[in-house]
Amino acid sequence: MARFPEPPKDDYALVFLSDTDQPLPESINPGTRYAYFKTIARGGKCIIQSCKDLLLSRTICYKSLRPELADDAVEQQRFLREARVTSMLQHPNTVPVYELGRDSRKHYYFTMKLVHGYTLREVLDYRDRYDLTQLIDVVIQVAHALEFAHGHRVAHRDIKPENVLVGPFGEVLLLDWGLAKVWNSDGSAGDEPERRDGGPGGAGGMLQKPSSLTGQSKLQGTISYMSPEQILEDPEIDYRTDLYSIGVVLYEILGGRPPAVGETVREVMEQILEGKPAPPSTHTSVKIPALLEAVTMRCIATDPADRLQSAGDLVRQLQEDWLHS
């Protein structure tokens, strides 16, 4: 059984007396608090950098909108929602947020804990190195994060291996709440920020939808992990969309591929909406525990009423003795 790999650490990860005991300036300039920026990743909307917080002598994660979107009112609204949702969901399987603010150009940013690790996608690229129990434990921890989020009236809506970070000390973090669904206090669905200028978008890209499926022209997210109701932009979508997506992750862990694959977005969408995936055992010669396969197939049921009804239910199912099923 391989241990999840430990990534190289930079010099800022070390603790020195010269850092811990340096005096705090009499006058603190917020504009010079962060230094030594290094780009970690560039997404469709955001740039993620590491930097040093000079006041606390630690390296952190600094997230901001891409320059071409930094003044876009819709993207600013989404960015604020992501920052605040991430901050409000304080849980062992979410990333702590430190600060939300504006830089010297008045553009939004927020800072978070910098966690060394690999995404579940990178782990699955070397699937044969890991025991199934390790991977199921990752899914259980993601389900814990979802149980907590759903209990606080938030649906993630972008569960996929790329948004799960696995650290060298057993930590598992559910990342990127940029597509989170949040409801009003009376339980009604809130208005979604909408782009009207045809400009660039999307966490994971903006995907064109076949006109026969819906009158809307754009779809956000990663198509293979979307529930049918997310594809159809059902206004009554609820937390069970996340159960579908985490079921797809389980399916990929067991079968080596998502349940819906195709050469085009249209083909993948049609397979998801048809709702007739073969069990993951049909895609691998490795014996799959019956309980795990049954749980996976329930999660990816087309009708939300036929799925497991909560992330807590999923945790309890995955904690059963599936090895001997």
Over residues 283-301, the pLDDT tens digits come to 998 899 999 999 999 999 9
Give the H or E element holding residue 35. strand 34-42
| % pLDDT > 70, the chain | 86
- Return phi, psi of residue 185, to 5°: -65, -25
Inform me whether the pLDDT recorded for 1 exceeds 70: no
Given pLDDT bands bounded at 50, 70 and 90, which one contains residue 116?
A: confident
55: burial class by Cβ within 10 Å (0-12, 13-18, 19+)? middle
12-26, 104-118, 266-280 — which is least confidently predicted?
12-26
Which CATH code of 1.10.510.10, 2.60.40.1120, 3.10.450.230, 2.60.40.2480 fits the domain covering 118-185+204-324? 1.10.510.10
Q: How many whole angstroms separate alpha carbon 139 and alpha carbon 143?
A: 6
pLDDT recorded at residue 210: 38
Q: At which residue do the structure tokens 């009112």 appear?
A: 73
User: Sign of dihedral through CA atoms 139, 307, 240, 304?
Assistant: positive
| % pLDDT > 90, the chain | 66
Name the 3-class secondary structure at 139: helix
Q: What are the sequence ranges of the domains in the chain?
A: 11-113, 118-185+204-324
We find that the CATH architecture of domain 11-113 is 2-Layer Sandwich (3.30)
57: burial class by Cβ within 10 Å (0-12, 13-18, 19+)? middle
What is the tens place of the pLDDT at every residue in 206-263? 343 433 333 333 455 589 999 999 999 998 999 999 999 999 999 999 999 999 998 8
Residues classed as catalytic:
158
